[in-house]
Amino acid sequence: MKVVFLVFIFLSNGVHAKTNLLEDIDKKLQPDSYESYRKLINIEPDGTKKEFVLYMLKKGKDKVASLFMSPASDKGRATLRLVDNMWLYIPGVAKPLRISSMQSVTGGVFNNADIMRLDFSEEYQIEKQTEDKTYYFLELKAKNETVTYEKLKMKVEKSSLFPIEIDCIANGITLKTIRYLDPKDFGDFKRPSVLETTSQLQKGFKSVMIFAKMKKREFKDEVFTMEYMGKLGDIRQ
């Protein structure tokens, strides 16, 4: 009986450690509630670039909103994510439009789920974990079928708990690889300031996401509603 009890404690501690690791990675990447600016750059095979600047807000584990600042043709558009539900607001259109996680409001390799990412621990659990002296190697499994990628393979630096590289997998196919680059001190915390992605399905295309002016900030729940999407610019400081 004593042996069984000790085995139970050992297994429980192992599961707890894996869960905590993913939560700790989330905490290193972003505060619970924050605002930031992001520049998204889509690069085509011939070198042509298209750039977007977004004002981003996040609250808790399941609320994300963004406002397009540029280019002029997209200025005033807004997106909203509540758990797995996403909407696009277009000025002059009566109601926000429902959008899917696999679509891309910017037309690049980053899809809507990448741009409006929730905490990893909210959507995934660790299925397998190995390590060497420098890195953790994690295989993550989606908690339910609504999550965009059914699996992620994540390489994490032990000393910082920053992801280095993530393979995004669906239907057994690696759809894209996201690299986390250029750690930067944002005052309240430090995190990689550049995400770069390429896709095996979009040969020669690349998208880059650059974080700027990221800081902790509290928001009321009403900010993350469809009724507020056209007013997101009012709360910029």
C-alpha 132/C-alpha 96 separation (Å) is: 47
The pLDDT value recorded for residue 7 is 42
Instruction: Please give the model's pTM, rounded to 2 decimal places.
Output: 0.88
Count of domains in the chain?
1
The pLDDT value recorded for residue 220 is 95
**Structural domain boundaries enclosing 42:** 2-235
% pLDDT > 90, the chain: 86
- The domain that holds 231 is classified in CATH as 2.50.20.10
Within the chain, where are the H helices?
A: 2-29, 112-115, 120-123
Task: Please choose, from the candidates 38, 31, 27, 82, the residue with its C-alpha nearest in 3D space to the C-alpha of residue 217.
Answer: 31
Task: Please choose, from the candidates 88, 123, 85, the residue with its C-alpha nearest in 3D space to the C-alpha of residue 105.
Answer: 88
| Full 3-state SS string of 91-150 | CCCCCCEEECCCCCCCCCCCCHHHHCCCCHHHHEEEEEEEECCCEEEEEEEECCCCCCCC
Does position 17 have pLDDT exceeding 70, yes or no? Answer: no
pLDDT range class, residue 18, cuts 50, 70, 90: low
pLDDT digits (tens, 9 = 90+) for 77-97: 999 999 999 999 999 998 999
The pLDDT value recorded for residue 12 is 40
pLDDT range class, residue 200, cuts 50, 70, 90: confident
Task: Please choose, from the candidates 176, 70, 204, the residue with its C-alpha nearest in 3D space to the C-alpha of residue 113.
Answer: 176
Beta bridge partners of 142: 124
CB 199 within 8 A of CB 183: no
